[in-house]
Structure 1
Amino acid sequence: MTGSSHRTAVVTGGTRGIGREIVTRLAEDGHAVVIGYAGRKDLADEAVAAVRAAGGEAIAQQADVADENAVAALFDAAETAFGGVDVVAHAAGRMALSSVAELDLAVLDDLHRTNIRGTFVVAQQAARRLRPGGALITFSTSVVGLAFPEYGAYSASKGAVEALTLVLARELRGRDVTVNSVAPGPTATDLFLEGKDELTVARLAAQPPLERLGTPGDIAEVVAFLASPQGHWVNGQVIRANGGIV
């Protein structure tokens, strides 16, 4: 490890994509990592093993992020194993694409249960438990500003995340805890690439002035900065990590 393990990070959605990369990156910075996962215990165990093989500390804990009891148990596990919580990176989320006119409202309910209620439940525990010097990083999307068609339900859920994040940053006045949201643009994850043909991917990759898709590593670097002492003066912000798409 490159640092001491006295800081502990809880990472939800930590088994795939951006969340998995955040686990690796925060462990490299010396955080003990508690990996929250929804259902794939095999992937969670792989992530734990990878951190430990690199000399870090990690455990995994199953939790439906919208279930307040499961999320409380996730934070309890972090406190029991490592003594407290210093960083929460809430990368768990759900995406469904459809026009507003055609969206099945049951899909809307599932999406908002995970993205809005789930973020609120995790943020609530973070607000109660983060130690001084700590950081909560939520996840939005650059689509909130870009207004792509068929992203109505997803974008609406992430707009709620941004609003919650900014309010919570102000509610935690005096706690020495930062609250920020990272809003990735098109990023090469399985979730993003699923169902898209090569022409669509190429078109999206050409949008940023940097002319490529983001990578999970790009986003994990932003999270690592916000989680670090060097990033502690950044507070109450939505950071659009998208290569310059406007």
Structure 2
Amino acid sequence: MRVLPIIGFLFVFLSCKQEPKQLTAQQIIDKTIETAGGEKYDAATIHFTFRDTKYSSHRKNGNYELTRTSTDSLGETRDVLTNSGFERFANGTKLILADSTATKYANSVNSVHYFVQLPFGLNDPAVNKELVGEAEINGKKYYEIKVTFSEEGGGTDYEDEYMYWINQDDFMMDYFAYKFYTDKGGIRFRKAFNPRMVNGIRFVDYENYKLEPWQSVDLKTVDELFEAGKLELLSEIKTEDISVEILGNN
């Protein structure tokens, strides 16, 4: 008869045992950034080539300088985006630009650096993150993180929406999708391939897919459409000639 109280105690103990605490969207993104390079992003000079154009980023102590340099028959054009604003130089001479033109060029420069250095930018102050579910893609389990942007600090395309699929085992960002509204709008889905670490920072290339019609599609379902073969491959997006210099503390 003494066995019954022991069994009862074990039953209560096991029933009260808590399930592992679910990670929040912020914790998942923090782990994803740390896995991809962490603090190295914010103290590095990075050079790369994208679509035959040279780019560089220099970050240190919260300050940044993002550049784009292209050359044609007229010479060299260099765009520079910093904490202070945007400037364009033609063969070393600074050009005077209308505000709308400067904003357009600045957004273009920032966009390339943003995508190449993902997931680093996902902790910017204007980023709103939400864990909206879990999914399985090609037999692997993923967290689904929805990202929107605040109007203040979110840029001219702050209404765009993003969905990131973060691998639950290694916290790698293997897929993402976004819905945009400029230039007639659309949805893009990207599958990462060719991952490599360069001096401690992770870079990938992407298969770039589109979906038509897109207006009524929930981004959360795009992975299912991808697995069902409903997306059209548009292009491969490759980052080349990457070099990374990690800066000291001084």
User: TM class by shorter-chain length?
Assistant: under 0.3
Structure with the greater relative contact order (CA < 8 A, sep ≥ 6): 1 or 2?
A: 1
Larger % of helix: which?
1
When Rg is computed on C-alpha atoms for both structures, the one with the higher figure is 2
TM-score with structure 2 length normalisation?
0.24
